[in-house]
Every structure is written in structure tokens, then in C-alpha cells.
Amino acid sequence: MTHTSALLGFALLSFGMVLTPGPNMIYLISRSITQGPAAGIVSLGGVALGFVFYMLCAAFGITALLFAIPYAYDALRFAGAAYLLWLAWQALKPGGRSPFQVKKLQVDSPRKLFAMGFVTNLLNPKIAMLYLALLPQFIDPAESVLMQSLALGAIQIAISVSVNAMIALAAGSIALFLGTRPTWLLLQRWLMGTVLAGLAVKMAFEARRA
């Protein structure tokens, strides 16, 4: 069974990732501002299904395969660290954009909202990297890879869905608040960028589990 330290570490990573602007967050906020919080929650249902898809892919073979191929783990570890640094730069660079500064979308039906949420998550490189390059670092190959993958995936889904639900419900109010307070927008970007950069450095210098 996954060690408590690994569960807590992955939970922290998942929390940091979900707070980072990406396709999912931008879509959910845009949808909630355009069509209301209920539309954002329906869209989140599709996003959640995408999380389940990635979790099952990781649990049934992908993660185990990484441990079997020499150097694959380290290659993806460094790729994951580089991607986190890129996300950090996107938040910190001059002229960086907050996800709450979004354009309005056209009004869509609940079925399309759900489908678009699902597709947006499937095509989200941040989530693919999370499950392909980051999740294996928290797995002990001496234990059941399947059970550990499912446990870690369940934690990520619970955290991501909970945080995104709160963001979708409060998107309009948050956008209004931040829109009139540019200092808070800057603080939000620097906080996320700093957390991501710290995670990237830790990942790059962390040795592979024995």
C-alpha cells in the first residue's frame, strides 16, 4: 500500500497543479462566467470523466511500463520538471495572464458542455504529464502498482474536482474582485509560479525509488 508520505506529497502536488492556469481552469471559468455556475458544474463533470480515463490508463499498465524500461523513468522525470518550469514561467513572465481574464463563449447545451469538458481534459498536456511523468515518482515498485495508482489517482481527482467546483461556482465573483485589484492578480501569478518552480526543482533532483 502507498506510504502516507507519498499520499501527502502527491496530494500537495495535485493541489498545486489544479491551482495552476491551464485548459481545464480557463474553460471552466469562461463557461461559468458566460453561462452561469450550473454550466460550469456540468462542464466539470466531463473534466472529471477525463481524470478517470487518465487514472485507469496509468493504473493498467502505463506506470508499470515506465519501471520496466531503462532510463524511461528518469527521462520522464526530467521532462516533467521542465514542463513545471515552463508553467511557472507562464505565470511569472511579464504580461502573464490570469485565468480569470477570459473571453466569453457562446451558450451551449448541457450535453455539449459535458462533452467539451471531457475533450478539453483529454487534450490537456498538464494532466497527461501529471499521470505519465509525475505520478510514477510516488509509487513504490515493490508494492502493488495497480493499487497505488488507483489510490493516488483517486486523491488527484477528489482534489481537482473539489477545487474546480469551488472555482466554477465563484468564478464571476472572483473575476470581478480581481479585475478591480491588479495587485491581487499579480500576487496570484507569483504564488503559483513560485510553487511550481519549487516542485520542478525537487523533482529534478529527487533520486529514483529503489
Distances (CA, A) of 79 to 43, 127, 134, 147: 30, 14, 10, 25
pLDDT digits 0-9 by tens, 101-146? 556 677 889 999 999 999 988 887 778 778 877 787 788 877 887 8
pLDDT of the residue at 178: 66
Whether 185 shows a pLDDT value over 70: the answer reads: no
pTM exceeding the 0.85 threshold for the entire prediction: no
Q: How far is residue 192's CA from residue 89's CA, in Å, rounded to a whole number?
A: 10
pLDDT digits 0-9 by tens, 46-95? 999 999 998 988 887 665 565 566 566 667 667 767 777 777 777 677 76
- Residue 55 grid coordinates: 487514472
pLDDT of the residue at 159: 96
Query: Where in the chain are the domains?
Result: 4-205
